[in-house]
Structures are given as C-alpha cells and as structure tokens.
Amino acid sequence: MPKLERFYGKLIKIEITGVNVHLYVLFHRDRVEVIEDFAGDADAVIRGAPFSMIALANGHSDIASAGVSIQGDVELAERFNRVLRQVDIDWEEHLSKITGDAIAYQLGNFARGITGYFDRTRTRMRDNSGDYLRDETTQVPHDWEVEAFCHQVDDLRDRVDALAEKLSGR
C-alpha cells in the first residue's frame, strides 16, 4: 500500500446527498477503514448525489464536472479520487447491503446506462464542435492545412539554412 502512505492519519468524509449516507474514510499505516460515524472533523469532505459519486469513482467524470463539491483539503480529495480510480470496487455489492440485490442491480444498470450516454454525448459534442469550428467558421484549420503549413515551414527553414551556408562561405 505504498500509494496510501501519504494519506496516513487523514480523514475524508463522503456525503452522498439525497440518500443521507455519510461515510468516513480513515487512513491507517497499513490499511484503510470505512466507518459510518466519527466524532472528529474531516480533513476533506466530498459531497454529491449518488450517480455523480458513482461516475466519479468509476472514472467517468472528474470532480469539477461531476457535480461534486469539496470542502477542506481539496488536494487531498483529488489525490484520493486519483487513487480510487485505480481500485476496482464492486459498488453494486456494497449498495446491495443497503438496498437489496435487485435494487442494487437495477441501479447499477441505470448508472452504467447513464454514464455510457454521457460518454457518447460528450464524444459527439466534441466531434460536432470541432467540425463546426473547422468547417463552418474556418477558425480551426483542417489537418491537411496544418500539414501543408508545416511542410512550408520546413522548406523555408531549409532554404534559410542553405542561404546562411552560402553567405558564410564568402
């Protein structure tokens, strides 16, 4: 657990809004403990709706675009999010202990469908924006235009180098 050593002694509170779930992640030297109650203050509080938190944990979104808020040590929360993305957690299994298997399965399917939809929508928007800027407004050049420009720059550099060599040979 070398990646977790830098978290030693830190406490992160996770608040899942709408379902009134509060979890505390306490980092020890050799393990991580998730508890429901803690008397002290958290170093960082990560707060968001269930599907925002799932998208964040599964790497489908980042903190800024997930609709998740952070209070306290923002850097700690972001480092925790990066580490969490590298861990394969079966969220449905944990959710099933609260809601039961059938509901957890349905919520998991719904979350996968939503994140897939947002991924496809984001890709389409990026592609359509690029096409619009390139084709309709001509503010962004086509790939072939950039390539032609680079060739012209290379040709000019070669001619300048040849001229400099010719002038230095006098």
Cβ pair 25, 34 in contact under 8 A: yes
Give per-residue pLDDT as tens, 54-64: 777 666 666 66
Across-strand partners of 47? 15, 69
| pLDDT at residue 158 in the model | 95
Extract the tokens encoding 109.
């399917």
pLDDT above 70 covers a percentage of the chain that reads 88
Give per-residue pLDDT as tens, 107-149: 777 777 776 777 788 889 888 888 888 888 878 888 889 999 9
Strand ranges of the sheet holding 44-48, from the earlier edge strand across to the other edge: 32-35, 21-27, 11-16, 44-48, 69-72
The domain spans of the chain are 2-88, 90-161
**What region, left, alpha or beta, does residue 145 occupy, with left being phi > 0 and alpha being psi -120 to 50 degrees?**
alpha
100: confidence class by pLDDT, cuts 50, 70, 90:
confident
Give per-residue pLDDT as tens, 22-31: 889 888 888 8
Q: Which amino acid is at 82?
A: R
**Contact residues for 15 (Cβ-Cβ < 8 A; gap 6+):** 21, 22, 45, 46, 47, 48
Fold observed for domain 2-88: Nonspecific Lipid-transfer Protein; Chain A (3.30.1050)
